[in-house]
Structures are given as structure tokens and as C-alpha cells.
Amino acid sequence: MKTRSFLMTTLYALMMGAGFASCADEFDEWEQPDPDPLAKNLTYILNEGLWGANNASISSFFEIDGTPNVTANYYEVINGQKMGDLANAMMEEDDNIYVVLNGSKYVAKLDMTTKEQARYTFPEGEGEPRCIDVEDDYAYVTQYGGQVSKFNIKDMTLAGTFKGGDNLEGIVEKDGKLYVSNSYAVDGSNNWIYNDEVFVIDAKTMTLEKTLKVACNPTKIYEFHDKIYVLSQGNYADVPAVLQSIDPASGVVTRILSTENVSKVTEADNKLIYGVRAAYDANWNPVNTFFICTTKVDEVSETSFLKDTPEALKTSTIYLLEVDEKTGYIYVGTSDYTTNGTIYQFDQTGKLLRQFDSGGINPSAMIFID
């Protein structure tokens, strides 16, 4: 495991205080055993940061003998520069990492040490980039202002565009089709008008094939167990957030019952989805509940996927929900929008193992290194 060996060695040295910024350049040549045979669960955490604060970051996390080790600002250490303003998305595909910076208006390809390999900066006059999916030789990025941009992943050069809709959010590619949420528009009086559309776009030609009607204000889109799922956020008043499934073959949209006020979902094994509902009390404090959904029949169970939920987690703003498919470990991240987030780590049975500082503000995504 050449990649993992280098990463663990680098992280271990950083933890011990050594300067390793230049070592990423020698990644392809250097192979060395893990610094500690007990080091495991190597993970990168994307911290969104705050708008205009230039404090987006990637933290690294691994364990030695059950002790969490977090290196904050890991991207900055490796690249010798700050990451930028408001990180909106991060994903891994074929031993590369892709990040989208909403405020700084760029998409970048990183290697598995987070060393930047290529970057595309969106021009003035185009909307901010939002979400990304990567398939085969291309990356697809949604933008506000009604655009999806297609990039050659080799060098992140622009390969095509789709124009349509208003403020586009989530995106997922399946079987040569892009599923894209057309979230909302803003009228001349600065009123938000929530849409109810998911575009189905031909990924090769970047042309619209059809438009699917979904619930109010679709945002995130996922592919879980060969099906498409859409999280619609509602109007933040009398129309609640809900989860829906799309049959890719027929285009039929099904609203999943008992998912009102859903805020986060993630894929688990055994054809399950883990989800969080976030209701609010009279003082607008979150009240969280946790549920399981079976993807085979899209049926919700009120049984929580967490066995022992810390009291703080029940009333915190949950900003991250991820499952490591290798270990089955569950990670829940919280935010107060001011200080570093907290990550709660549970084992595959939902038992709390530990909690630790995320290394940045608003932890929103994680990727797990094999």
C-alpha cells in the first residue's frame, strides 16, 4: 500500500512536529512502512469555514492505539498556501481528491497527500461552484446562475457546459446521465422562489433530456445502492424537508414517508441509509432524531442507528454524517458556526467510541483512505 504508507509516514511526522511540506513532491518515489503498526482509520476532514474568512481547510485524522490524532490545516502544510474561502464539496475517485471552493470560485484536483495537481478558476460573471461528481475521465460541477461545467480530470480543463435553471446544487452521474437539482431562484425584489425540479442531462452531449418534478427546494442528490435519492429542503417555514427516491429506469419519483425535517443522510451497508431529522423548538434550537431507511423498499424504521447518543448531539447543529464502508464506523460532525467543529465516532453497532476536534470550522465531509 504505497499511497497509504507515504501518507501515514507524513502524518506521523507532522504529529511529531517535523516539517513535511516538501515531501509530497517525492510521493511517487518514496515507499516506507507505516510509522506505527497500530496506526489506522486514515481520514481527511473537509472544514467548510466561514464566508469571507479565507479559512476553509482539510484536516487529517488517524488513530494510534485508540488515540485520535488530528492535524489541522493539512492542505496548507502540504501546499504552502491557504485553501481559500468556503469549501463546499470534497470527494475521492481513483486515488485523486476533488474539492470545490464556493467563495474562492475554483475546483481543484489533489493527489492523495492533498498536494494540488490542477485547478480551474471560474471566470468573473459566472456563478459560484457548488457540488461535484466524477465519472470516468470527467468531473461535473454545478454552479449558481444555472450552469453545469464539465472538466477533463487529467488537467481540469473545461470540456463542455450545460446552461439552464437557476441556482443548481446537488449532482450525481449514473449510466451516462447527470441528475442535477434546480434549487431556487431570486426575483427582482430579492425574494427566494423555491423550485421543484431535477434535471436529467446527457453527460456526453451536456443537453437536457428531461425534467423530473420533486418536492420543494431540492438540494443534495445521492446515489445509494444503485438508486438516486434527492433531499428537498422545503421552504424553511410550513413546507418541511423530505427525502425522495428516483427510479433511474423509469424516472418515477417516490416520496419516502416519515422523513419530514430530514437534514442529513448517508449510505450504510446492507442496503441501508442512515438519516438525521432536525426539528426546532420554540427558541429555534435543533432537536435531532436518528433513523434508518431500507433502500430495497424505501421504508423508514424509527430505530436509531446510534446506541448511545450523547446529550449534546441531540441538540447540536449536525453538519456532517458519514460512514466508513471499510470499518462500518459512523462519524457525526457538529458546528456552532464560530469555533472548531466536533466529530463523534461510533463503531458499526452505534456505540460511541470517542469525540475529537475537527481541526476547523463547519466540518462538512470526510473521505476514508484504504
Q: Grid cell 474568512 — which residue?
A: 53
pLDDT at 24: 44
* Three-class HEC string of 268-316: ECCCEEEEEEEEECCCCCEEEEEEEEECCCCEEECCCCCCCCCHHHHCC
* Dist. CA 140–CA 159, nearest whole Å: 10
Task: Look at residue 2 and tell me whether its pLDDT is greater than 70.
Answer: no
The arithmetic mean of pLDDT across residues 55-61, rounded, is 97
Average pLDDT of the chain to the nearest whole number = 91
Alpha carbons within 13 angstroms on the beta-carbon side of residue 66 total: 4
Among 240-249, 280-289, 361-370, the range scoring the smallest mean pLDDT is 280-289
pLDDT of 281 reads 87
Length of the chain: 370
Give the cell for residue 217. 427546494
Mean pLDDT across 64-91: 94
- Give the angle subtended at the CA of 204 by the CAs of 201 and 209, to the nearest 5°: 25
Interval 340-356 mean pLDDT:
96
- Mean pLDDT computed over 257-274: 94
pLDDT per residue as tens digits for the range 104-150 = 999 999 999 999 999 999 999 999 999 999 999 999 999 999 999 99
> What's the average model confidence in pLDDT over 316-331?
96
What is the maximum alpha-carbon separation in the chain?
Answer: 61
pLDDT at 42: 87
Residue type, 353: L
Phi-psi region of 325 (alpha: psi -120 to 50; beta: other; left: phi over 0): alpha
The whole-number average pLDDT for the span 188-212 is: 97
Arithmetic mean of pLDDT, 237-247: 96
- The arithmetic mean of pLDDT across residues 227-248, rounded, is 96
Would you state the pLDDT for residue 121?
98
Please list the alpha-helical segments (H only) found in the chain: 2-15, 74-79, 311-314
The torsion region of residue 359 among left (phi > 0), alpha (psi -120 to 50) and beta comes to: left
Binning pLDDT at 50, 70 and 90, where does residue 285 land? confident
Rounded to whole angstroms, how far apart are CA atoms 181 and 169? 5
Does 225 score more than 70 pLDDT? yes
| CA atoms of 47 and 341, how far apart (whole Å) | 8
Residue in 75, 34, 28, 42 with CA at minimum distance from that of residue 56: 75
User: 80 versus 37: which is more confidently predicted?
Assistant: 80
Query: Distance between alpha carbon 17 and the CA centroid of its chain, in Å?
Result: 30
Say whether pLDDT at 28 is over 50: no
Is the whole-model pTM more than 0.85? yes
Contact indicator for 358, 322 with CB cutoff of 8 Å: no
Domains contained in the chain, CATH given: 87-255 (2.130.10.10)
> What mean pLDDT is predicted for residues 158-180?
98
